Every structure is written in structure tokens, then in C-alpha cells.
A and B are shown apart, each in its own frame.
Chain A
């Protein structure tokens, strides 16, 4: 770990300005991902701006019937919030499917959106990785790729965004609220928040230099059955091979996003009219452009079969 300087942020705007101003600055909140990466030399910030003192840790109702979640709301608290559990059950279930109790106690809403990939080559500083060291190449392509992306990747990177929470938020049409270095705020639809890797996989979101997430808003509830089905090799404390976040209405219409398959939560609104026609037809549309590797082609089949189970559950057919 390289030596770094440290400051406590006094306001979101000041934090953003400091981050833009200071070479090699990073925000730290829960630190559950950043500290691990610093210890192994994957992240080497020169300056840390600690956000934990900022009053961004509340969940409030919005005037249009939605919820505004502060950037620092811990995953545990978000998952347990009565309004979230009642109106956005999908979000609560996705959070509880992720990490462990201890990690959820520390991890924040904004930090969860920004967590880095779990591609094993990203974690090994001896290996080429365009995300970690731009231009160095991608060891995962042609290597161990069982857990990696089947769609949305590029010739530079096939890493997966590992967040469960973000997949639920994508289905809920969440909006990420930020403040920029110049003090201006903006609202970024979750669909636009994460970037596909293209030729620049190290740029993972549309956030600008210094730009700080202050919260996430959820539009007013849409009802329906909320299901988060995460598939993994072991029963807990593992990243998704595939996850399905779905809101299914009584008439069979609904919204679906997939986790574990792409560099961002994978949703295609244009495919959703096909949802009432069943998992096979819908998945064929959603993953039409999939380019899996030999090792992860099973994810396409798995996504379809998992969605089949989700749709059966939505219908009340438990088996």
C-alpha cells in the first residue's frame, strides 16, 4: 500500500471540488472494496476523502411518491427499511443476497454502485488487465472466464459488474444524484450510469472527475411481484453466476434485468413486451447479441431457466 493523505469531507460540494483538485484522489465511505484493493496494490490512491461525516445517510419520501436514499445509507439499513420492504421488495432482496452481514453493515449505497469487478485477473497485478492498467491487455479473454460477461463486453474487457443492488435499481428505474466539482448537481438515470467497456474499460461510469454521488432516488412504486433470484455455486457469500431481478404484473407484463452477465446490470426495455410470451422468447431477445466464451456459455441457458423459475413464481406456481 502506497502512502496517502487523508481528509474528512465537510460538504458534498467541497468533497467534489477537493477530489477534482487533488491528483490521485478517491472517495472512501464503507471501504469494503477500496481497502482490499489498496492492500493488494490494485487501487493506489494518493489522497482519500472520507465521506462518512456527511449527512447523506437518510432515506426520505419524495414529493412524487418515491424515495430518496442518501449515498451513505448502509446496505443493511436500506434492506431493512420498512418502506423499501413494502414498496421496493426487489431492492431489499437483492441487497440481502449480496455479501455478508458484516459487509452490509459497512457498505454504502453509493459505494455499492461503484464496486469494482471480481474478475480474477483484475486482482493480480502481475497480469495484464485493461481495467487496472489501461493498454496492458486482457488476460481473461482466452483465460479463466467462467464468471465473466456473456454480453456487453468488448475485445478489451469481459469483466462483470458484481453488484446485486444495482440490478434491482435498474429494474426500479432509479436515478443517481450527484454533485460536480463546480457545485452543480445532476440526475443520471441508472441505465446510463454504468458504461460498457469498449476500448476504455477503466472508465466504468459516466461520473466526471470529482463528481460525487449524493443519493439515489426511486420513482413511485409500480406494484407487481418483486423477485430477485440469484444463482451461485455456494448457498451464500458468493457473487452471482446469473441473477434475475424482476417485477411482474398480474397480466404477465413486467420488467427484468440480469446480473452476473454483463459489465452493467443488463436490461433491455425493447425486449420487455416479449415477457408475457415466456422465458425462452424473452431471453432470446434480451441476450440476442450475447458472445459468450466456451467457459461461460452456460450463463445464457442459465439465465433463461432462472427466468423461467421467476415467472413461475410470479404466477404463484411454486414448483
Chain B
């Protein structure tokens, strides 16, 4: 099915099941331990052995030799894989660095060997006996130092310019320039990367924790040099990904190689201390923002530049993305520059681009509002645009940023705010509030599904879509139930298997809308097949209350497939509505913080997010997405930072004791409001993404609240107490 004209009324609009706050249907499996994750597929892959990764102890250089003598002799060892023994390997389309290093070493903790043994403990003990002789070469590890050598990235829309930015900025009545930095971030998902591989002849089955099954199957095949049809990926449950599992990582490749070498199924997980340097991360940025405006706060010039680094062949963090679309202004420029760094591979993490970009832009907007003497909510509203400001003939499909800001301000009692910073005290706490706009583009991706009505009148949905904790199982069941007029408990959903139709996968907050639209397409076909079977006219058949009705005739869905399953498969593809209309999601974050007057410890007191993201398919799972994202934003604002040792070339704090993420005590009451909207340009579901929107802008709202509480402006994340102490009021 092709979606190339705006959606009109369709069965989803009945909203008997879709749009309802259903509990997630996979919840009981998760709470009873019957949801088996990749590393727990002991029944599917009986008698599997364990592989343990040996990781590079240098950040850059080459392997001169590997001595495996002692490791081979260690108890329980079945096989050892190195780049030398693995044979020729390709490189996946989505990987920058090789997943198995050697002889060249590209980054710290790059995998250089896998030791396979009977037990995990034996594999780990033997891995410690592998002796690698390295020749270390010097590398670039300091983004600030590498800025001068940064170049314009090749494959990206690196620069944009409209009007005369330089002239307009120079001539503006009020100008502001700010420089901001964001550090490298780790996804820090709960479930570590893990895979179990099993070969039958030349066919590989890989149970793995991966967000994008088709990409993964393709890259495993490419890397191993085998036909894609020989690779089956299975990922029924995924314990979080945040972009860290968009791509095949070393656990999957080495499990496959280890299983081939040991002639046994092999399980490989990445120990937590390995994840931070072995896998990908959100790259650090240095950003420069310039805003020129008239005295009444109308932006006349807006410029945003960003520098980031990556391994050779890598990509920039697209931190200027939102600045191209978020605010009006006749004269504008954006630019990205990419430096070569020999740190681990930078890549996508939840809301890549916008998350980092808004951390800077939304402080800059606050600073500019300060300079103009304007309320920061009003300043943003004054510069709203209903069209793509770089391309004004392109309207937004739906844009309720102003309504988000107004609704939020109202609910948060924003009008009672004392504008002057450092004016509110509550006991030991200096109290302040901050706001930021939330913005994230809505992407639509082709997505397919197969649906089957069986003799019991149950419907089974199969798609290689993944549920990374987001609620995919539930919204897909709701979609099928709505389309077929069935209760949700008559729908069975099977996900995450490359033998199922290719879906959008989970990434870029496109999964919710795109995967359900694919299920919609398949259900339209199934409805036609059912109507045809019953001799009804598909165009006037109504699927309702477990029955199909056409004219005076009503048939129960329980009986239709008595003679054999009725199966339909289709996918949803997209025309050019995404080009003709700018599709984005919007929100506003409001935060209140307390800053300890003595110690400058920052604690969040209240959080509110107002989101406009099309139809909300399930308000309960959507809210969970947003409060999780707000929590991630709190981490980005206040504590998360991969600390780079610029001499030794690695992320130093590579465990969850050193890389702090928020704990329960850090998170206060979180309120989430969804504006009631539908977007007919997005898909027949009229939904958009929400999982990344919830993160976008949170950190800046917190940083702005800290400034409002203390009068101290921190422009380098995370906003930690040491950056405030020097300017905190004297204690007398």
C-alpha cells in the first residue's frame, strides 16, 4: 500500500482500541521471567558454549603478535577466534570501525579475540591468558584540539544558508553569541549487548539484542561474506537500546565466528565495563550559536555551527538539525564540521542531532530572552513559524509548538515566576524554573507485516519490528484489533524475526507510526480477503464486535477461517508527503530545580512535558516513553559524561559506577500532557513519533532553571556543582 495522499477517515478513527491506555500485553511475560532475552535462549540453542571477548588495551596502533598458547591450554577452552583465524571479513554498511580488530587497532576496547569455552567462567579466565603484543601509535583524542583540523563532512547536508546572515547579524539591534559543549554520552541501556549464534550447515541463526532486524541480518551477512538468506536474526525482547543496538556489534559477529570455530552454539555478551568503549556512543559537540533580533524580540538572524569528531569514515553529530526548522528568521546559516578522532565509534543515540543541538540552542534562546528582557516563553512564541524557514513554500504538516508552550506555562504556573534570577529561596534551596522547546523530526519508513486469521477466530501478526521496551507489541495488537473489530486479547503478535516481513524497526522515533501503518496495510488486505471469502463487498464490509457486517448480513469472524487460515501480507510505503510537508513533533519542557545554597548540589523538583506528536496510539506506553526520556534528559543535564583521557585515548569511566545515570531519588513527579491532535500527512494512523521528542530540550530546560535559581550560567554539560561553586553567593 502506498501512502501518498493525506489520510481520510478510516477504521482506526473509531478509537475503540487504538488510543486507549492499555497495559502492555507483554508485561506479564516480563514480570514473570518468561520473556526470554537474547542471552537466555537456552531452550532454543541447547548445550551452547560461552565466548568471552578479549579487547584492545591500546586506542590506536597494530597487533604485532598474539600468543594463544596459555589460553588454548586453559580448562574448558573449545576455540579461539582472532582476525587472523577468522578469515576475510567484510564490514557492515552501518559500521565505521571493524567489529573484530587486528592487525590494525582503531579504538580502545576494540575486540581482538574471542575465547570459547564450556562455561562463562572458563572463557573469562582463559581470555585473561591471551597475550597480545601491541605497537601503539599516537592518535587524536581531544575534540577541542582537533577543531582546527575539522573539515566539511562529505555525505551530509553540512551547510545551509538563507538570506544574508552575516549582514543581518551585524546589523541587528540586539545580538547574542554563545559557545556550548556537550560531552560524549553512552546509551547505558539495561540489557547489555548479547547474542547466541548457532550454525546448521551454512545457515546461521542468531538470537540477538538488536533494534533493526533487517539491517542486522544484512550486515551480519556482509561481514561474514555469506548470502543474506542464510542469516536469520531473532530478537523477541530487547532490554533497551536507545540507538546503541541499531547496528550489529561485536557480540553478534563474534558469536557467529565462535560458533563456526567451535562447531557449537555460542553465547556472547558484552560485560558492562566493555560496552562504553567497545560499542558506539553519542559524540561530543562544540557548538556556536549567534542570534540577532529586533528590540521587540523578532529574530532577524540565526546561526548555528557544530563541531564533532569520529573515526575516519565516520559521521558528524547533526546538532544543527533543529535550528534549520525551529524558529523563524529571514537570515540564517548552519554549518557542521567533522574532525578525525581516534576514540571509539560515534553514532546514533536517542534523538541524534536534536538532543545535542537543543541542549545548546535552548540555552541560547534563554540567554537571548534575558538580553531582550523578554519572558523566554514569549520569546519563543514570537518566533514561531508555520513553514520551513529555509524553504517557506513547505508548510509544516501540523505544528502546535505555541499551544505546547502556552498549555505548559499555564499548568506550571509560569506567570507567577519572578523573572530576576536568584530571587527565590526555600530553606537551604535556591529555587528556579526553566523552559525549553522540544523538537524532533518525524520520519516515516517502509514497514511490512503479515496477518493471519485462524479457525479459532484469532489473528496473528508477524513483522520483524522490535519492541525495545517501547510498547510495540501492544500498539501493534491494538492496531490489528481496531482494524478487524476484535478485542485486543484475540490478537497474537510475533516480532523481531528476520523470517517475518521487513518492518521499519525501532529507531529515530519512527517505529510506532511506521510499524503500525504496516500492520494497517496488511489488515486492509486481510479485510478484503475475508470479505471476498464471505462473498461480501470489501468496500462496505464493517468489522465490528467480532463480526463482519455487510448490508443485512452479519458473520462471526470465528467461523470464517474454519476451512483454513486466511493470510494477508502487505507493507506501507510512502510517497512525497514528507517532502511537500515538513513533518515534525513538538513539545515544551518546564522544570523546577533546587540548588543547595551551600554545596551547589542540583536537585530537580518538578518536571512537565507537553507534547504535540500526532495521534497517541496508547497514552500509557507513550507516557512511559516520555517520562523515560525526561529521565534521560535529567541525566544529560546533570551527570552523564563519558570522561575522555586525552593522553591515553579512551573513556575512563567505563562502568555504571563511574558513568552515572539518574537514580529514583533524582527524579521527582513528572507530568506529561499530550495535545489532542492527529496528523493526516504522517500515515493512516495519523500518529507521529514520541520516544525521542520527550528527551529533546529537557537538559536545556534544567540548565535554564539552574541559571534562574542561582544566576550562574553553565554552558558546558553536564551542569555539575563544581561549575557553579565559584560563582555561588557567598555564605558570609
Contact = CB atoms under 8 A, between A and B. Distances in A.
A309 B598 contact: yes
Contacts of B666: 234-236
B639 A234 contact: yes
Nearest to B731: A308
Shortest beta-carbon contacts, A-B, top 7: A126-B57, A309-B598, A235-B665, A298-B722, A236-B665, A144-B652, A305-B598
B663 A1 contact: no
B57 A232 contact: no
A141 B333 CA distance: 43
Interface in B708-732: 718, 720-722, 725-726, 728, 731
B648 A301 contact: no
A215 B161 CA distance: 72
A2 B660 CA distance: 29
A116 B125 CA distance: 22
B725 A123 contact: no
A161 to B, nearest CB: 15
A302 B721 contact: yes
B177 interface: no
A236 B601 CA distance: 12
Q: For the side of the interface on A, what is the size category?
A: 35 or more
Interface in A25-45: 39-41
Given A236-B665, A237-B663, A305-B598, A41 B648 contact: no
B388 to A, nearest CB: 40
Contact of B599 (A1, A41, A236, A306): A306
Contacts of B665: 234-237
A194 B645 CA distance: 29
Contacts of B121: 1
A318 B125 contact: no
B131 interface: no
A232 B428 contact: no
Interface of B is mostly: loop
Contacts of B662: 234
A146 B647 contact: no
A298 B655 CA distance: 24
A236 B664 contact: yes
Given A235-B663, A301-B725, A308-B731, A318 B427 contact: yes
A238 interface: yes
Contact of A143 (B596, B648, B663): B648
Contacts of A118: 657-658
B428 A123 contact: no
Contact of B428 (A1, A127, A309): A309
B710 to A, nearest CB: 13
Contacts of A121: 652
B652 A1 contact: no
A234 B660 contact: yes
Given A118-B657, A236-B664, A237-B663, A231 B125 contact: no
Contacts of A306: 598-599
A234 B425 CA distance: 21
Which of A40, A231, A233, A237: most chain B CB closer than 10 A? Answer: A233
Which of A2, A121, A298 has most B Cβ within 10 Å?
A298
Contacts of A2: 125, 128
Nearest to B58: A126
A4 B600 CA distance: 47
B603 A302 contact: no
Given A234-B662, A318-B427, A1 B725 contact: no
Contacts of A238: 660
A229 B600 CA distance: 13
A39 B128 CA distance: 11
B721 A234 contact: no
B21 interface: no
Given A120-B653, A234-B639, A235-B665, 17 more contacts: A3-B125, A39-B124, A120-B652, A123-B655, A123-B658, A144-B643, A144-B653, A146-B643, A229-B599, A231-B599, A233-B720, A234-B662, A236-B663, A237-B665, A241-B721, A301-B726, A306-B598
B725 A139 contact: no
Interface string B616-654: 000000000000000000000011000101011000111
Most buried by B among A118, A305, A306: A305
Contacts of A241: 721-722
Contacts of A301: 725-726
29 contacts: A3-B125, A40-B273, A41-B128, A124-B652, A142-B647, A143-B645, A144-B645, A144-B653, A146-B643, A229-B599, A234-B663, A234-B666, A235-B663, A236-B664, A236-B665, A236-B666, A241-B722, A298-B722, A298-B726, A301-B726, A302-B721, A302-B722, A302-B725, A305-B598, A305-B600, A305-B725, A305-B731, A306-B599, A312-B598
Contacts of B603: 235
B598 A139 contact: no
A127 to B, nearest CB: 7
B645 A139 contact: yes
A230 to B, nearest CB: 10
Contacts of A102: none
Nearest to A242: B599
A120 to B, nearest CB: 5
Interface in A108-144: 118, 120-121, 123-124, 126-127, 139, 142-144
B126 to A, nearest CB: 11
A319 interface: yes
Interface in A220-259: 229, 231-239, 241-242
Interface string B362-374: 0000000000000
Contacts of B660: 233-234, 238
Nearest to B644: A144
A159 B643 CA distance: 17
Contacts of B597: 309, 319
B652 A143 contact: yes
B676 to A, nearest CB: 35
A13 B600 CA distance: 49
Interface in B109-139: 121, 124-125, 128
Contacts of A139: 645, 648
A203 B465 CA distance: 55
A287 to B, nearest CB: 15
Interface string A30-64: 00000000011100000000000000000000000
A192 to B, nearest CB: 29
A302 B653 CA distance: 22
A103 to B, nearest CB: 11
A309 B601 CA distance: 12
A306 B599 CA distance: 6
Contacts of B273: 40, 123-124
B134 to A, nearest CB: 10
A233 B731 CA distance: 21
Interface in B502-523: none
A232 B601 contact: yes
B428 to A, nearest CB: 6
Nearest to B638: A233
A231 B647 CA distance: 29
B127 to A, nearest CB: 10
